[in-house]
Structures are given as structure tokens and as C-alpha cells.
């Protein structure tokens, strides 16, 4: 399965509509890929909190329209990264959209772990509540977003639901890039799955983005890694390797579930 990771630059000097059309053009350039993935909140910038309210859009808004058409024109499965969704009740969500090669919206994932502690996304956005997987002809995707990467129990749930490729769009900051690489490899090793972690480049909200999108195999080996600038990574995933890894080193079978707190 061929995957293309589009590490797009997110800078305040470009309008949202301009970047939307540029992202659609970049998707169309990936003809021949099976799966294309964009980063988190690439329309506005993951740290551009002041733009969340003004640039929020309904689920089937302009980003949906542009990405659906790009997926259909290119004939790819498209994980369109995430956008600031305004729900019918007015709540904001950090929402990922996945489109089929026909341009149909097949899955929606609302980010569960919101970053910011007592500010930014954590107070401006509502939390998602559902684990989401996407069955493709050659793989099952497990969806997560950025800060989710720090919570291994989420990924265990995705693997239990059948995921063998973990897809993580992000707007990860450069100052914590070492954690990005470490955690991507850890999630691959402990779940014996491919990890596709897609970052953005540029600076938004005064925060320099890490870039360095990364593809990790089920043994934890880095198959490809981008630099800091805008870049597209294209990698062929050997999907039988997931089953082979899990058979050769069956650690997942040795999980002990249901452990409670230590006794008094």
C-alpha cells in the first residue's frame, strides 16, 4: 500500500482559502498513491487560537467540499487532516475527515485529548468520545490526532478494533520534536503496527512547527522522515509485515488485562 504524507506549510501570511486550494492541488499530485494524509488544523494552524472562532466551519463546509473533490479527482483514500468544526450546537471540535476514492466522507474523528491544559484548544474545543477505525482494501486505519500520541491506551483500543496502520496528523511544536519521534516509534513497537505521523511546517500562533513527518514500521524502524520545510513523503507499506511481526514476536498475546490499583 502506497501512502503519501503531505507536510504542508502553515503560515499566517497565506489565506485559509489559498492554502485550501494549494492543499487540494498537492493531493492531486499524489496520483498513484493509495492513501494520502494531511496534517492537523492545516487550514488555520494548530496554535493560531485567535482564528479558531472566525475560521470554524460546518462538517460539510468548504474544506469538506475541496477535499472530497480532490480525493475523487485523484482516486485516493484521503485523510484530510483536521479542521475546526463548528457543530450545530455551536461547539467547536478538532475534527478529522476521511474520504473514499469516490470522494465520499466515510469517517469522522473528533480529537479526544485536547492540548493546552488551561488555555487554547483545551478550553476552546469540546472533546471527542469515540475511537474511530477505517477499513481500507489493504489495511485498517486507526485514527488519532497530535496530543493523542501521548496516550497509549487510545492506541491499544484502536488495535483491539483491528487497526494495523495508526494515522496521526499533527501540529507538533519544534521545541518538543524529540518527543514526536520517540512517541511515534513507541506506538509502532508496542502495537506492532505501522505509524504514519504527519506534521506541518512553518510558524503559527508564534509557535515554530516541527515538521519531520515520519513513517515507522511494526518493528519500530523509521522508513522515511521529512525535514523541517514543506515536503511530501511517499512510502510503500508492506502490509503482510504486520501479521508477520505479530506472529514472530507475539507480545500482544501476553497482555494482562483488567489490572486494578495496588492493594492497600
Within 10 angstroms of residue 152's Cβ, the number of other Cβ atoms is: 13
Q: What is the pLDDT of residues 85-106, one digit of tens each?
A: 999 999 999 999 999 999 999 9
Of the residues 57, 85, 111, 121, which is catalytic?
111
List Cβ neighbours of 22 (8 Å cut-off, separation of 6 or more): 8, 14
State the average pLDDT over residues 153-176. 98
**What's the pLDDT at 264?**
55
Give residue 262's pLDDT band: very low, low, confident or very high (50, 70, 90): confident
Strands of 133-135's sheet in order across: 133-135, 140-143, 165-169, 194-198, 214-216, 222-225
Of the residues 57, 85, 121, 146, which is catalytic?
146
In this structure, which CATH number among 3.40.50.1820, 3.60.110.10, 2.60.40.10, 3.30.70.1060 belongs to the domain 2-253? Answer: 3.60.110.10
List Cβ neighbours of 255 (8 Å cut-off, separation of 6 or more): none
DSSP bridge partners of 96: 82, 109
To the nearest 10 degrees (0 to 180), the angle between helices 152-160 and 177-191 is 30
User: Rounded to whole angstroms, how far apart are CA atoms 23 and 28?
Assistant: 9
Distance separating the N- and C-terminal Cα atoms of the chain: 51
Q: What is the pLDDT of residues 22-80, one digit of tens each?
A: 999 999 999 999 999 999 999 999 999 999 999 999 999 999 999 999 999 999 999 99
- Helix (H/G/I), strand (E/B), else coil: 33: strand
Are 143 and 133 in contact by the 8 Å Cβ rule? The answer is yes
Residue 53 bears catalytic tag: no
Q: Is the pLDDT of residue 10 over 60?
A: yes
As to burial, measured by CB atoms within 10 angstroms (0-12 exposed, 13-18 middle, 19+ buried), residue 120 is middle
* Pairing outcome for strands 222-225 and 214-216: antiparallel
Within 10 angstroms of residue 14's Cβ, the number of other Cβ atoms is: 13
Q: Is the pLDDT of residue 137 over 80?
A: yes
Q: Is the pLDDT of residue 253 over 90?
A: yes
Residue 40 bears catalytic tag: yes
Of the residues 40, 57, 121, 231, which is catalytic?
40
State the average pLDDT over residues 143-147. 98
Give residue 261's pLDDT band: very low, low, confident or very high (50, 70, 90): confident
* Domain chopping of the chain, boundaries: 2-253
* Pairing outcome for strands 194-198 and 207-208: unpaired
Q: Which DSSP state fits 200?
A: -
Please give the mean pLDDT across all residues of the chain. 97
Among the ranges given (116-120, 168-172, 177-181), the one the predictor scored with the smallest mean pLDDT: 116-120
Q: Is the pLDDT of residue 127 over 90?
A: yes
Residue 111 bears catalytic tag: yes
Q: How far is CA 208 from the centre of its chain?
A: 19
Amino acid at each position: 500500500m502506497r501512502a503519501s504524507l503531505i507536510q504542508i506549510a502553515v503560515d499566517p501570511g497565506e489565506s485559509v482559502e489559498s492554502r485550501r486550494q494549494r492543499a487540494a492541488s498537492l493531493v492531486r499530485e499524489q496520483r498513484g498513491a493509495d492513501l494520502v494524509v494531511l496534517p492537523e488544523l492545516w487550514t488555520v494552524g494548530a496554535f493560531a487560537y485567535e482564528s479558531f472562532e472566525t475560521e470554524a466551519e460546518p462538517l460539510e463546509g468548504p474544506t469538506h467540499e475541496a477535499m472530497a473533490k480532490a480525493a475523487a479527482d485523484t482516486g485516493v483514500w484521503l485523510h484530510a487532516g483536521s479542521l475546526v468544526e463548528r457543530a450545530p450546537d455551536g461547539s467547536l471540535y478538532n475534527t478529522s475527515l476521511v474520504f473514499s476514492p469516490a470522494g465520499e466522507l466515510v469517517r469522522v474523528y473528533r480529537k479526544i485529548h485536547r492540548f493546552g491544559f488551561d488555555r487554547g484548544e483545551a478550553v476552546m474545543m469540546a472533546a471527542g468520545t469515540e475511537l474511530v477505525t477505517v477499513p481500507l482494501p489493504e489495511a485498517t486505519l486507526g485514527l488519532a490526532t497530535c496530543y493523542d500520541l501521548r496516550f497509549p491506551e487510545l492506541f491499544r483500543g484502536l488495535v483491539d478494533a483491528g487497526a494495523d496502520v495508526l494515522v496521526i496528523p499533527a501540529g507538533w511544536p519544534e521545541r518538543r520534536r524529540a518527543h514526536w519521534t520517540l512517541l511515534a516509534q513507541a506506538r509502532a513497537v508496542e502495537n506492532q503496527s505501522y505509524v504514519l505521523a504527519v506534521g506541518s511546517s512553518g510558524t503559527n500562533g508564534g509557535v515554530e512547527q516541527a515538521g519531520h513527518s515520519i513513517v515507522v514500521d511494526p518493528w519500530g524502524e523509521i522508513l522515511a522522515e521529512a525535514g523541517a520545510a514543506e515536503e511530501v513523503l511517499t512510502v510503500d507499506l508492506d502490509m503482510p509485515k504486520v501479521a508477520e511481526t505479530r506472529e514472530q514476536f507475539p507480545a500482544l498475546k501476553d497482555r494482562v488485562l483488567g489490572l486494578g490499583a495496588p492493594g492497600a
